[in-house]
Structure 1
Amino acid sequence: MSAVLYRAPGPVTLIGGGPVPPERLAEAARLAPEIYAADGGGDVVPPPGHRLRAVIGDMDSLRDPAALAAAGVALRRIAEQDSTDLEKCLYSIAAPLYLGVGFLGGRLDHELAALNAVAKNPDRRLILIGREDLCLLVPAAGLAFEAAAGDRVSLFPMGPCRGTRSTGLRWPVTGLDFAPGERVGTSNAATGGPVAIGFDGGPMLAILPAAYLGRLARG
């Protein structure tokens, strides 16, 4: 693992090389205006009024690094192959929150690797944002947010865990055991109002509507 290259006082946006819905990138940039790219994500043009600070990764996907360098974008090549480009961004940038766009959708192996990065980095507050969904880790202290009745609250275990807290869900999860290859918690739904969930063990991923980004990023 390399040393920290950048320290951000506020949230940062990370752009990946997968599908990047413009409206999701624009929303992420409003919430986290300091923007970095993971390798091929550097080919994506930032929203108007924003600039790309640096591209981080092994640089095997970036189409025109010379043009980016000429535009003043820093190119930070990290050659090690024990981590993905998303993980390279996470350990190279110290920030209180990371909003990742361009990591969900597209190639399934890349998407699974991104979800694995969420699960294996509990010390990094990371929200991945797709066209319809966002995904984040349920912290050890639990996750709480406001939800409209009927809105989807899906839970997917990345390791064995047990529900310890469950309010505001149509199907409560308190006392239930979850594990990959066994019980999962997809397609649950909110009853309307405050939702609070917690687990022992894990990691547990929460998959929520992309429209919830603002309330989760500010929470």
Structure 2
Amino acid sequence: MVNLVKIGAIVRADGPIGLFGGGEIRSGDVNLVLNRVNSAVAADGGAAALIDSGRMPDAVIGDFDSLTAEYRAQIPADRLFPISEQNSTDFDKALRSIEARVVLAAGFLGARVDHQLVAFNTLVRLQDRPCLLLGACEIVFHAPPRIRLDLAPGDTVSLFPLRRVTGRSTGLEWPINDLVLEPDGQVGTSNRAQGLCELEVDGPGLLVILPRTALDQVMQAFLTDQTGHWPARAE
């Protein structure tokens, strides 16, 4: 546990934090995440994947309806942070309780479509909490104000709006400069990188979907503060 600070239900760290959910986690993905983060947090039943790998979670956050008694008994009481309200998912409860430059999250994509949709909703609602969702083939994140990535020519770059957004791009086969992207209108899926890509967005609400090979570049962009930040959403 490195530079981990807990205040109430809040977990903060200077570096990246790993977050584990109770959904599908591919063989090897627990170690992939742990090798890139300083601290490991579980959203409710996601603690099982960590404990089974030999790593005790630094914190477990959620309503604990999917954390079995067997696993809960193994976790020190001061690492358990129950949030009992039922108006949000465990991913939401955990992500809003974490402060880090970037969160790398596994166990939230795959399996049930409704779980994936609500995870995407959470990424956009909690716009001030940078988070990368790790999937079987792709990574998904909420587009920051700007990002610059050196992608392989031909890499798929999908942009999917959950709000009305506009922006500019370079290095994409089909630039978005003159487009208005909307969830019930124009979207930007299945675009292709030509190499070095730059994306600027005028406001929050755009999801970026990239190959897993871009993971380290995207993490580095957030960690070195090249991306800018969205403010917390007004309640």
Q: Does TM-score exceed 0.5, indicating one fold?
A: yes
Instruction: Tell me the percent identity.
Output: 39
- Relative to structure 2, which stretch is displaced further, 82-91 or 143-152? 82-91
Aligned partner (choices 176, 199, 214) of residue 197 of structure 1? 199
Instruction: Tell me which residue corresponds to 2:185.
Output: 182
Aligned partner (choices 143, 148, 154) of residue 150 of structure 1? 154
The Cα RMSD (Å) is: 1.9
Conserved 8 A contact 2:20-2:107: yes
SS at match of 1:177: coil
- Relative to structure 2, which stretch is displaced further, 70-79 or 203-212? 70-79
SS at match of 1:191: strand
**1:172 is the counterpart of 2:172:** no
Letter in 2 for 1:207: I
**1:89 is the counterpart of 2:91:** no
Aligned partner (choices 43, 61, 66) of residue 61 of structure 1? 66
Conserved 8 A contact 1:29-1:47: no
Q: Tell me by how many angstroms 1:49 deviates.
A: 6.5
Q: Tell me by how many angstroms 1:98 deviates.
A: 0.6
Q: Which residues in structure 2 correspond to 1:108-127 (within 5 Å)? A: 108-127=113-132
Change (3 A) 1:139 1:204: same
Looking at structure 2, the residues matched to 86 and 92 of structure 1 have their Cα atoms a distance apart, in angstroms, of 10
| CA deviation vs aligned residue, 1:71-125 (integer Å, no higher than 9, x gap) | 4362211011222211111222222211110001111111111111111111111
Change (3 A) 1:76 1:89: same
Q: Which runs of 5+ in 1 are unaligned?
A: none
Looking at structure 2, the residues matched to 46 and 210 of structure 1 have their Cα atoms a distance apart, in angstroms, of 25
Change (3 A) 1:7 1:25: same
Letter in 2 for 1:199: V
SS at match of 2:34: helix
**1:101 is the counterpart of 2:106:** yes
SS at match of 1:128: strand
Letter in 2 for 1:175: D
Conserved 8 A contact 1:157-1:184: yes
Conserved 8 A contact 2:30-2:50: no
Q: Tell me by how many angstroms 1:4 deviates.
A: 4.3
Q: Which residues in structure 2 correspond to 1:20-99 (within 5 Å)? A: 20-45=25-50, 50-64=55-69, 66-72=70-76, 74-99=79-104
SS at match of 2:218: helix
Looking at structure 1, the residues matched to 181 and 27 of structure 2 have their Cα atoms a distance apart, in angstroms, of 35
Q: How many residues of Structure 1 are paired with residues of Structure 2 in the alignment?
A: 214
SS at match of 1:37: strand
Change (3 A) 1:205 1:132: same
Q: Tell me by how many angstroms 1:195 deviates.
A: 0.5
Q: Which runs of 5+ in 2 are unaligned?
A: 1-6, 222-235
Letter in 2 for 1:196: E
Conserved 8 A contact 2:15-2:101: yes
Change (3 A) 1:143 1:58: same
Letter in 2 for 1:33: N
Q: Tell me by how many angstroms 1:48 deviates.
A: 5.3
Aligned partner (choices 214, 217, 233) of residue 215 of structure 1? 217
Change (3 A) 1:77 1:35: same
Conserved 8 A contact 2:160-2:189: yes
| CA deviation vs aligned residue, 1:157-187 (integer Å, no higher than 9, x gap) | 0011112x21110111112111011111000
Instruction: Tell me which residue corresponds to 2:19.
Output: 14
Letter in 1 for 2:178: G
